[in-house]
Structure 1
């Protein structure tokens, strides 16, 4: 069943099952290693980690597994905002700060050299698989990673973006359908024109690039992985399916929200971070969309503005103000060990091999 799959040979894994590199603390070393040890590819989401924090987690993963794992980083964006734009954007957040009793002023300072430091850390640690979101790394960066033997994985939400990834020298591309939870990986054009469903996106990407394609978006179990393979993908990436698993670092409120949601509860919004992302609709989204959504700063500035609100909402058990990222298949979520998710997928695929 699995023989001849280029991903298996390229990554030295047992099964072409990727655990998405979700940032924000979900992808704990325990989760990454559990998926990896079960034969899939666990991925650390390093988007919001300092280089030092990232390296520390990589070392923890290495203690828990000797198998292939990956790390996901964000291609950087450095937008500018005027003082007036910052004041206008923050004005809409004042009611939330007041309700949560947040008094400190927000500064928009962030480490503009984070990406370069992360790349240095990845090279030093010789991470075997490195994936990128929000853009494509330069040819120079890809060349340096290849020198260290790393497999480079890109993200695309359109055929055009997949072709750009291939032209830059990326080894594998994840085709992210509109059903996916969390941030959209769109980096060309407006995101509204890149909301292509997984069923439509994957076969079109497969037909236009020669590198292996990994399907992502709404895939939660063996049925979804089988569908991805039938569409021509060489593997599948699951995110939301692992958010609620036992090794996940997602906050309890986040897990509960997903486990109690339906396919009609998610929405794509930019109000939390300034970048479109799919999550469960709540009061923060509703209130911001009434007016504040017109005064958002670009990512990552808006994300910095709302960081303390999201943090305090978690501490004070106010999920209505948290970013509850989720894909469109929350009814299929379970609270079981990560390894059992992988094992169930493998059993389903091997049991149904050759069936339509």
Structure 2
């Protein structure tokens, strides 16, 4: 199955709380293309969630992984980061923060579980999966999709053989998916990035970032995109299992509250500004994914305690455009109205 055979409206893969079988299945069942953000899932859990998705719908879906990230261990930087987390741990009644024993799942094991799950699409962010890996996946019948934040990344991914490239604009929520020139890639807006990638590449381009309603879908198509990937709008649908604190923070946020931060993970990501992002603004942090693992107990406890000011509230700049309550199917239908057949 090639990307042009898939629906024009994709749900962007969102790791963490939104990595839900019910949400992915609901999007695909409604005629969109659901994707599971599996970057933080253990291989066995990937298998379980994929089976759950398949039990809920016979429609195609995708699985997304983070490419392996080179990182430098810096014990002094980690100790300084843990010291900054300590007062918030105390506030929530948690033990003092400690260095995590493991910072990320084994990528090759995750990929093997993904292959065994047989999604229609295997997609990657934060790197180039490489020509050999792409060729092996395509030989097994998978559509392979990479993520670019500027033209050079798109060209490299095309040279590696991917079937399509997601153009991740500056406006997109969550972690930056780039890998050349800086670990986060370039900060280029979707409206500028999509047509440049369309002109430079011979494969489909999927627009992502700042698309929250049918108008954004129409604009992306006019720029030459073959599909759109929408993330933040799906965070508020009925099937998304966000904590009440996260959901309330998204509903209350204004456009000016959107920020790029390294505070929770060590890698640049877009979300709603809060006490943690402000306190750690400009502070040098250990390399991703070390802070991401170290801050996980804080984030989990904050969610349970209903304290959004200590949560990573990932969301894109289009957040205020779509806050009407409803189902994933209703949102897919509303977005599809912007796509001209």
The TM tier, using the shorter chain, reads over 0.9
Runs of 4+ in 1 over 4 A off after TM superposition: none
Q: Can you list the C-alpha shifts for 1:1-60, whole angstroms capped at 9, x where unaligned? A: xxxxx7342xxx3x3111011000203111111111111110001010000111100000
Deviates more, 1:209-218 or 1:244-253: 244-253
For the residue of structure 2 that corresponds to 1:124, the secondary structure is helix
Quote the Cα distance in structure 2 between the aligned partners of 1:279 and 1:112: 21
Q: How far off is 1:201 after superposition?
A: 0.5
Question: Which of 303, 313, 322 is the equivalent residue of 2:302?
Answer: 313
Q: 2:272 maps to which residue?
A: 280
Q: 2:130 maps to which residue?
A: 138
For the residue of structure 2 that corresponds to 1:220, the secondary structure is coil
State the TM-score, normalized to the length of structure 1: 0.91
Q: 1:3 maps to which residue?
A: none
Question: Which of 210, 221, 225 is the equivalent residue of 2:202?
Answer: 210
For the residue of structure 2 that corresponds to 1:92, the secondary structure is helix
Q: Is the 8 A contact 2:244 2:306 kept in 1?
A: no
Quote the Cα distance in structure 1 between the aligned partners of 2:79 and 2:3: 48
Q: 2:334 maps to which residue?
A: 344
Q: How far off is 1:239 after superposition?
A: 0.3
Q: How far off is 1:77 after superposition?
A: 1.3
Q: 2:284 maps to which residue?
A: 295
Q: Which runs of 5+ in 1 are unaligned?
A: 1-5
Quote the Cα distance in structure 1 between the aligned partners of 2:74 and 2:11: 39
Q: How far off is 1:147 after superposition?
A: 1.9
Quote the Cα distance in structure 1 between the aligned partners of 2:107 and 2:3: 27
Q: Would the alpha carbon gap of residues 105 and 259 (structure 1) be closer, same or farther in structure 2, given more than 3 Å must change?
A: closer
Q: How does 1:251-262 map to 2 (within 5 A)?
A: 251-262=243-254
Q: 1:7 maps to which residue?
A: 3
Quote the Cα distance in structure 2 between the aligned partners of 1:188 and 1:262: 32
Q: Which runs of 5+ in 2 are unaligned?
A: none
Aligned residue pairs total 339
Q: 1:248 maps to which residue?
A: 240
Q: Is the 8 A contact 1:20 1:42 kept in 2?
A: yes
Q: Can you list the C-alpha shifts for 1:310-345, whole angstroms capped at 9, x where unaligned? A: 111111111100000111112112321001111112
